[in-house]
Structure 1
Amino acid sequence: MKKLTKHLIVAAVLLAGFAAALGSYLLLRPDDGSGSGGPDVRPAARAMPVRESSHRLTDPADSELTLVEFLDFECEACGAYFPVVERLREEYGDRVTFVARYFPMPGHRNGELAARTAEAAARQGKFEEMYTKLFTTQKEWGESQEWKEGVFRGYAEGLGLDMKKFDADLADPETAGRVQEDQRDGLGLEVQGTPTFFLDGRKIPNPGSYEQFKALIDERLPG
């Protein structure tokens, strides 16, 4: 996999900072009735970085460390970190558990829909495949004011999903509720923007390069 260029990492860090400032306002403010606000999501009373139900991209039998990412599929900074996380997965897949948690920002037209799309795919055992598809195609649908359900249905068809079940799951309130469960944990853990990473339960500053990320993991791995 190609190494992420330096300028892209810098852009990711800057975008993450902007998302943190703007995202906390968007997520926590009350809906003004205009339809621009998100669902009324409250922080979890006992927030946890990872739960048994959380989606694991890798789940080694003898995991020595857990890396959790609260993400928004439409977030450009998350898209920039995606190849970094994939490269880390390649290197540490047999030692580190990688967990993806939903934290869609209401300021993104299709962020919550993308999260429900991934969750609907998860109900057919295709979470990782949809996770990858959404990030690798982000430039094709992200930052759009148009509703992209048709695009996402095309991705589901391409993955060979049962479309009748996919459509039902996408519309199921329990699917939206599952996304909100992750958001509640994130808010309870003071996640204010995306991506936000937790390494063995502790929130870490977003690393500025793959090498910095690797160093943070290496210093926490035993031996």
Structure 2
Amino acid sequence: MTKRALVMLTAFVAIVVFGGAAMLYSSRDGSTPQAVAVSSGDSLVRPHSPVMGSEAAPVTIVEFFDPSCEACSAFYPIVKQIMHETGEDVRLVEAARKQDKFQPVLEALFANQAEWADHGAPDIEKAWQIAAGAGLDLEPARKDATTPEVDAVLAQDIADVKANRVEQTPTFFVNGKPLTEFSPQGLYDLVKTEIQAAKSGS
């Protein structure tokens, strides 16, 4: 990927993905959960990170991802299924959005990934158009992409990526532990292990 393409993709992701305070997924009853306040000292969970699930959940999944990443697209339904199956025991920390359109935009980007996320040269303008088709209002979105607020969120996220040694997407942490067996079953097993440990008090 060229530096120019990386900068353009970063700006696009910044506005579509970062900067708000709403949840990635809908709750099990179809309503939209509210953001949970978190400590600004946690490099995995920041105040701008939305949290889906109970604040009291004993297990927290944190995901670093990229909408142009094929593996991220493949894991998307798997993470949703884990959240559905584990109910109140697990919460998910993801990226937020400003226009309350994160989930439909992300799903549209994943569904049309082959059209815009060409390896090494993502078509950012095409991604914007796909986002618009999913309901994103492009005029304010493009303006928001250049704000100091988004710049600050990006700078913090880049620092957190380095601090947590994230070298690929998706990268998962479960209760702060990195997922070392990178597979859907590996993620499921780590979540289950953490749930059992929390319930047994160990």
On the 8 A contact 1:67/1:97 being kept in 2, the answer is: yes
1:141 aligns with 2:116: yes
1:198 aligns with 2:192: no
- Of all paired residues, the percent bearing the same amino acid is 27
Deviations 1:1-39 (A, max 9, x none): xxxxxxxxxxxxxxxxxxxxxxxxx9xxxxxxx846967
Q: Extract unaligned runs of 5+ from structure 1.
A: 1-25, 27-33, 40-45, 102-118
1:71-90 correspondence runs (5 A): 71-90=65-84
1:36 to 1:92, Cα distance in 2 relative to 1, 3 A: same
On the 8 A contact 2:116/2:122 being kept in 1, the answer is: no
What TM-score comes out, normalization by structure 2 length?
Answer: 0.67
SS at match of 1:66: strand
SS at match of 1:69: strand
Give the RMSD, CA atoms, in angstroms. Answer: 2.8
On the 8 A contact 2:179/2:186 being kept in 1, the answer is: no
Pairwise CA distance, 1:89: 2.3
Q: Select the residue among 185, 189, 198 that pairs with 1:215.
A: 189
Partner of 2:147: 172
On the 8 A contact 2:115/2:126 being kept in 1, the answer is: no
1:160 aligns with 2:135: yes
Deviations 1:44-94 (A, max 9, x none): xx76111121133x2324322110111122122222222222221222243
Aligned residues: 164
Partner of 1:52: 47
SS at match of 2:100: coil
On the 8 A contact 1:63/1:95 being kept in 2, the answer is: yes
Which shifted more, 213-222 or 139-148? 139-148
Deviations 1:154-173 (A, max 9, x none): 23322333332112112335
> Which residue identity is paired with 1:141?
W
Partner of 2:64: 70
1:176 to 1:135, Cα distance in 2 relative to 1, 3 A: farther
1:64 to 1:35, Cα distance in 2 relative to 1, 3 A: closer
1:183 to 1:47, Cα distance in 2 relative to 1, 3 A: farther
